[in-house]
């Protein structure tokens, strides 16, 4: 079958999980502190994670086009489907940016009163509400433009005959070549804005690479899961063990690359022992040890030893298990990036409210208490607060809701075009891969 049918039973299944996600977000909002710290961090965490997966899918399409690659062509529509989430993902990030602009959330320390803070005053040319909002709109719009052009040209290849395909493909190569350096610089800028600035006094020259690698590994893992699902339902008969083996090698290799970036970032900061840098890791090691060390186990140790054997990457069950583990593991990775910094900001806001309004401010006390209980300070490390110290049921429910939304958008895109782009000039290379 070359036409994916988005069955009503699958739609109902995904919609039920989307409703679960909305319900969890609603419960989070009404059970949260007055600053709604848990709600906004959950929204930011999942929006950034799935938007990044979408961006990396478009990025990898551009990489393969520029490299004259053909092995991926047979299933490139899966990556195009992932990329279609970019519209909704950027919309969610603009919503968060608007909430930040109008002081409806307190995610970022730099968005509040920074008078007298020399570090944040020095960074205010970049860390400010105007650039956060309009930068998100401009850069997000640029990503959408390039995705739209690559997708449109791919569909035009399907409609037109083989005689014009190389002309279409040359245009795709032109757009892909321009997109690669643009996405390289702009993704770093957005990662600094959206994620790294949650810990605004800290900085790392490797953080953008590290975060993008986390997105990329999650995208590769999700590709494996979707291909296995589609094959199990009668699609992609020509996607062989060799294709899955190749994608499994990407999963194995880039899990190691992610670990290399993790270690390099940690080693350089530890070796320099500069207080404003080492506090990022000290905070997470001391007060979030399960998250910190579990991150390495789930995203490196287990994938490394399971996928180390070459034949394991050809076994659908084994590689599918690792892929599912890695998607959840890199969601965990972003949880660890987001929660501690945003919670520290909530503590600062609560302390400011306490000072301004006195101890009777119940909302400020609640936010302050949540911050203290979550472990900012070694003396609180033994406390556990669901949603910050570890993901709670509401976080998992929100994740499944976003995951279902991502799949709903992707499956809708898949159903609108042939699964195999039959007029792509490199299709033959993909069909005869390792034959």
Q: Note the pTM of the prediction, 2 decimals.
A: 0.93
Ranges of beta strands (E only) in 104-200 are: none
H or E segment and range at residue 76: helix 76-83
Domain count, the chain: 1
Nearest residue to 419 (alpha-carbon basis) of 10, 6, 57: 6
Q: Which of 243, 254, 206 is nearest to 76 (CA)?
A: 243
The β-bridge partners of 432 are none
Q: Could you read off the pLDDT of 12-46 as tens digits, one per residue?
A: 999 999 999 999 999 999 998 889 999 999 999 99
pLDDT digits 0-9 by tens, 206-234: 999 999 999 999 999 999 999 999 999 99
Q: Could you tell me if residue 404 is inside a domain?
A: yes
425 in a structural domain: no
Q: Which of 205, 202, 238, 239 shows the shortest CA–CA distance to 224? A: 239
**pLDDT value at residue 377:** 37
Does residue 372 form part of some domain? yes
| Cα angle for residues 127, 89, 74 (degrees, 5° grid) | 130
Is 297 contained in some domain? yes
Q: Give CA–CA dist 82/66, Å, rounded.
A: 19
Residue 68: domain span: 8-420
- What are the tokens at 126? 């970049």
Q: Which residues pair with 418 in a beta bridge?
A: 3
User: Is 427 inside a domain boundary?
Assistant: no
Instruction: Pull the structure tokens for residue 198.
Output: 């949650």
In a domain, 1, yes or no: no
**Residue 23 falls inside a structural domain:** yes
The long-range contacts involving 159-164, CB below 8 angstroms and separated by at least 24 positions, are 160/423, 161/423, 162/423, 162/425
Phi first, then psi: give them for residue 3, nearest 5 degrees: -130, 115
Burial (CB count <10 Å: 0-12, 13-18, 19+), residue 348: middle
pLDDT at position 165 is: 60
Please indicate, yes or no, if residue 167 is contained in any of the structural domains.
yes
Bigger pLDDT: 53 vs 422: 53
- Token look-up 């910190």 returns 292
């Amino acid at each position: 079958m070359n036409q994916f049918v988005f069955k009503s039973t699958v739609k109902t299944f995904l919609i039920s999980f989307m409703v679960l996600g909305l319900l969890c977000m609603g419960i989070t909002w009404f059970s949260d502190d007055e600053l709604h710290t848990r709600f906004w961090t959950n929204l930011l965490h999942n929006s950034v994670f799935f938007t990044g997966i979408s961006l990396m899918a478009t990025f990898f399409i551009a990489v393969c086009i520029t490299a004259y690659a053909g092995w991926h062509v047979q299933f490139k529509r899966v990556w195009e489907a992932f990329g279609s989430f970019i519209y909704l993902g950027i919309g969610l990030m603009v919503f968060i940016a608007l909430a930040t602009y109008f002081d409806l959330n307190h995610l970022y320390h730099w968005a509040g009163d920074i008078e007298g803070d020399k570090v944040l005053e020095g960074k205010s040319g970049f860390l400010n509400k105007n650039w956060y909002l309009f930068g998100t709109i401009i850069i997000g719009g640029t990503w959408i433009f390039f995705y739209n052009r690559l997708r449109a040209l791919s569909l035009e290849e399907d409609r037109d005959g083989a005689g014009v395909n190389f002309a279409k493909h040359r245009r795709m190569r032109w757009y892909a070549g321009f997109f690669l350096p643009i996405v390289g610089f702009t993704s770093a800028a957005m990662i600094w804005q959206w994620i790294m600035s949650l810990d605004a006094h800290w900085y790392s020259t490797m953080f953008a690479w590290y975060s993008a690698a986390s997105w990329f590994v999650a995208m590769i893992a999700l590709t494996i899961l979707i291909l296995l699902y589609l094959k199990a339902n009668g699609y992609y008969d020509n996607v062989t063990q060799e294709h899955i083996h190749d994608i499994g090698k990407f999963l194995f290799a880039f899990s190691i690359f992610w670990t290399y970036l993790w270690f390099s970032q940690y080693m350089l900061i530890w070796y320099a022992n500069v207080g404003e840098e080492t506090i990022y890791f000290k905070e997470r090691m001391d007060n979030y040890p399960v998250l910190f060390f579990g991150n390495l186990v789930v995203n490196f140790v287990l994938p490394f030893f399971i996928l180390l054997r070459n034949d394991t990457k050809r076994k659908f069950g084994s590689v599918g298990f690792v892929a599912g583990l890695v998607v959840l593991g890199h969601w965990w990775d972003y949880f660890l990036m987001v929660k501690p910094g945003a919670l520290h900001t909530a503590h600062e806001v609560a302390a400011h409210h306490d000072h301004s309004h006195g101890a009777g401010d119940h909302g400020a006390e609640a936010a302050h208490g949540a911050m203290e209980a979550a472990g900012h300070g070694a003396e609180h490390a033994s406390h556990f607060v669901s949603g910050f110290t570890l993901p709670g049921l509401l976080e998992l429910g929100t994740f499944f809701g976003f995951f279902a939304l991502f799949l709903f958008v992707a499956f809708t895109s898949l159903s609108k075009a042939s699964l195999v782009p039959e007029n792509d000039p490199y299709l033959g290379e993909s069909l005869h891969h390792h034959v």
